[in-house]
């Protein structure tokens, strides 16, 4: 989670400003109060920095760099940005869960566990 926290720390410097509150509303209006990925209008809509504030702080308030996303699409995108495999529809996820379960029960050799970790996060 440390990497995600690091990203959040950078964007928080932006999102707690008055300027952001105004801009955020403009982006929601522009995108029709719907997620640009899945089109949902339900749930919590978030404003995503297309290029993360961490890498492009100069684009933090650029409308072209902002997009409305539901929290599900937003977190899926952020996970990819920080180099994690996506949670959703990942075939590796079961392998990982199995590897952890095997480790917990002591049925796995360290070598096979290591192999699976490489597979999970190449």
Which three-class secondary structure state does DSSP give residue 120?
helix
DSSP bridge pairs for 66? 49
CB nearer to Zn ion: pick between 33 and 114 = 33
Considering CB under 5 A, how many residues would be counted as binding Zn ion? 5
CB nearer to Zn ion: pick between 89 and 94 = 89
- Minimum CB separation of residue 7 from Zn ion in Å reads 18
- Minimum CB separation of residue 68 from Zn ion in Å reads 9
24-83: contacts with Zn ion (CB under 5 A): 35, 37-38, 70, 73
86: left (phi over 0), alpha (psi -120 to 50) or beta: beta
* Residue 78 dihedral angles phi and psi, to the nearest 5°: -60, -40
CB nearer to Zn ion: pick between 27 and 70 = 70
Residue 66: burial class (beta carbons within 10 Å; 0-12, 13-18, 19+): buried
79-108: contacts with Zn ion (CB under 5 A): none
CB nearer to Zn ion: pick between 69 and 116 = 69
In the chain, helix, strand, coil percent, each to 5? 55, 10, 35
- Minimum CB separation of residue 80 from Zn ion in Å reads 14
What is the enclosing helix (H) or strand (E) of 14? Answer: helix 2-15
- Minimum CB separation of residue 103 from Zn ion in Å reads 34
Residue ranges in contact with Zn ion by CB under 5 A: 35, 37-38, 70, 73
């Amino acid at each position: 989670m440390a990497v995600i926290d690091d990203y959040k720390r950078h964007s928080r410097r932006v999102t707690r400003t008055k300027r952001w509150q105004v801009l955020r509303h403009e982006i929601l209006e522009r995108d029709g109060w719907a997620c640009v990925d899945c089109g949902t209008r339900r749930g919590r809509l978030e404003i995503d920095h297309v290029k993360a504030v961490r890498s492009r702080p100069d684009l933090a308030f650029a409308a072209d760099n902002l997009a409305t996303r539901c929290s599900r699409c937003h977190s899926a995108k952020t996970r990819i940005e920080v180099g994690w495999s996506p949670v959703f529809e990942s075939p590796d996820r079961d392998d990982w869960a199995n590897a952890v379960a095997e480790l917990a029960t002591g049925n796995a050799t360290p070598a096979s566990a290591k192999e699976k970790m490489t597979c999970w996060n190449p």
